[in-house]
């Protein structure tokens, strides 16, 4: 039984998504079963061989050769599974803790710090030469947010500021030098609409809380790259415009913001061609980096759903890479573990590997785009 909370958001997003013109490019032509990605090459593959012998390349090596940060969300609880680890290490050069760095996980009560699961992920990354994206420092979304009640009960601005500074500084100091990019504020805009979301932080600290969070994070770790992370701008032109306006205001005010993450939860299984490219170009014109940070693409009702899914994965990678976006993170990598099962119901198979860790056509579409962009072209 799906938690009611997800149904609320799912129906709101479905209304938005229903407006999206789901025009897909012609099927990629990959067979429904898709070419199976080659077994991991144990040899060291240089950039050159990725160009000349692409089949000898793991997807991770193809990403490295393309100068792309190819990441995925991981759960500490799955790292003891050999197939999970092997597939992860052959495919990605970056990982994002799906939940372990969120306030409710890592700092559940005023005097309790639960660093263990996040430490496990960061230690795994260090041992396997993986980058880590810190997700996230500040997020209060009334239905599925991740701020503990003890924080939501603080109504005094000075006390809330003290608590926030303590939280952000403690977490960022612990992982300084190991976590190089942070989602400082997650989803500051309305899920559906284009206003500033009326979360607890805005309610107590005012509209300028977003800029304030970035300043606190920058003081905590001046070397870290600080991102604002937003959802559902792929289908909502007004919300995309509001995101651009928010980022422009932050940049114009001298806020230490380095990048913007467009999550890429393509709930309808598609996105209108060109929308991402246009959004990325406008954001980059403000002087910030852009990234796809939580990509997943539930299969649609298409006659050949895995082909259609692969086409959209390829489209997203192409528009990102063509717009000089050099970071793409999927929100999980195997259909065995995906939040979409809760959000939309089981069986939507949104990720590049199936439940048995077999590569799908979507993975080949990702590889194809990486191989097209070798040597950072």
Instruction: Please say if 272 is a catalytic residue.
Output: no
Q: Which residue is nearest to ligand G3I (CB)?
A: 339
Nearer to ligand G3I, 65 or 297 (CB): 297
CA Rg, the chain, in Å? 20
Q: Which residues pair with 70 in a beta bridge?
A: 328
Return d(Cα 49, Cα 58) in angstroms, integer. 11
Return d(Cα 313, Cα 296) in angstroms, integer. 9
Nearer to ligand G3I, 61 or 105 (CB): 105
Q: C-beta of 339: minimal distance to ligand G3I in Å?
A: 3
The token pair at 279 is 């959004």
Q: C-beta of 108: minimal distance to ligand G3I in Å?
A: 10
Q: C-beta of 144: minimal distance to ligand G3I in Å?
A: 5
| C-beta of residue 226 within 8 angstroms of C-beta of residue 217 | yes
Instruction: Please say if 319 is a catalytic residue.
Output: no
Nearer to ligand G3I, 231 or 271 (CB): 231
Q: Point out which residues bind ligand G3I (CB under 6 A).
A: 98-99, 102, 144, 146, 186, 231, 263, 294, 339
| C-beta of residue 300 within 8 angstroms of C-beta of residue 269 | yes
Q: Cβ of 181: how many Cβ atoms within 10 Å? A: 26
For the chain, report the end-to-end CA distance as a whole number of angstroms. 47
Nearer to ligand G3I, 221 or 294 (CB): 294
DSSP secondary structure of 51-110: HH-GGGS-HHHHHHHHT-EEEEEE-GGGTT-HHHHHHHHHH-SEEEESSTTSHHHH--BT
Q: C-beta of 263: minimal distance to ligand G3I in Å?
A: 5
Return d(Cα 360, Cα 118) in angstroms, integer. 29
Q: C-beta of 3: minimal distance to ligand G3I in Å?
A: 8
* Residue of 294, 319, 327, 369 marked catalytic: 294
| C-beta of residue 200 within 8 angstroms of C-beta of residue 147 | yes
Nearer to ligand G3I, 311 or 343 (CB): 343
Return d(Cα 145, Cα 138) in angstroms, integer. 10
Return d(Cα 131, Cα 11) in angstroms, integer. 35
* Residue of 187, 230, 319, 369 marked catalytic: 187
Nearest of 65, 60, 78, 34 to residue 337 by alpha carbon: 78
Q: C-beta of 8: minimal distance to ligand G3I in Å?
A: 12
Nearer to ligand G3I, 24 or 132 (CB): 132
The catalytic residues are 187, 294
């Amino acid at each position: 039984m799906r938690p009611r909370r997800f149904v609320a958001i799912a129906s709101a997003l479905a209304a938005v998504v229903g407006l999206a013109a789901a025009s897909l490019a012609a099927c990629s032509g990959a067979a429904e079963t898709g070419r199976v990605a080659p077994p991991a090459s144990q040899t060291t593959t240089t950039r050159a061989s990725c160009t000349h012998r692409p089949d000898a390349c793991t997807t991770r090596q193809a990403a490295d050769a393309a100068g792309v940060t190819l990441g995925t969300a991981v759960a500490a609880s799955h790292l003891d599974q050999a197939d999970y680890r092997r597939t992860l290490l052959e495919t990605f050069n970056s990982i994002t803790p799906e939940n372990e760095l969120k306030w409710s996980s890592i700092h559940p009560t005023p005097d309790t710090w639960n660093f263990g699961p996040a430490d496990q992920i960061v230690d795994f990354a260090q041992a396997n030469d993986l980058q880590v994206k810190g997700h996230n420092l500040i997020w209060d979304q009334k239905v599925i947010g991740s701020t503990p009640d003890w924080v939501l009960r603080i109504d005094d601005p000075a006390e809330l500021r003290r608590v926030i500074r303590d939280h952000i500084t403690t977490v960022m100091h612990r992982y300084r030098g190991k976590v190089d990019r942070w989602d400082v504020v997650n989803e500051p805009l309305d899920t559906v609409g284009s206003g500033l979301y009326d979360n607890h932080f805005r309610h107590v600290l005012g509209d300028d809380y977003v800029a304030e969070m970035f300043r606190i994070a920058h003081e905590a770790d001046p070397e870290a790259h600080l991102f604002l992370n937003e959802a559902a701008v792929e289908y909502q032109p007004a919300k995309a415009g509001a995101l651009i306006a928010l980022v422009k205001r932050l940049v114009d005010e001298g806020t230490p913001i380095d990048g913007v993450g467009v999550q890429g939860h393509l709930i309808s299984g598609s996105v209108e061609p060109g929308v991402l490219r246009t959004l990325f170009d406008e954001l980059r014109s403000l002087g910030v980096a852009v990234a796809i940070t939580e990509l997943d693409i539930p299969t649609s009702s298409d006659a050949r759903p895995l082909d259609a899914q692969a086409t959209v994965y390829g489209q997203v990678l192409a528009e990102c890479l063509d717009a000089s976006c050099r970071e793409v993170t999927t929100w999980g990598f195997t259909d065995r573990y995906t939040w979409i099962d809760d959000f939309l119901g089981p069986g939507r198979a949104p990720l590049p590997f199936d439940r048995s860790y077999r590569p799908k056509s979507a993975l080949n579409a990702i590889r194809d785009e990486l191989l097209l962009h070798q040597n950072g072209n």
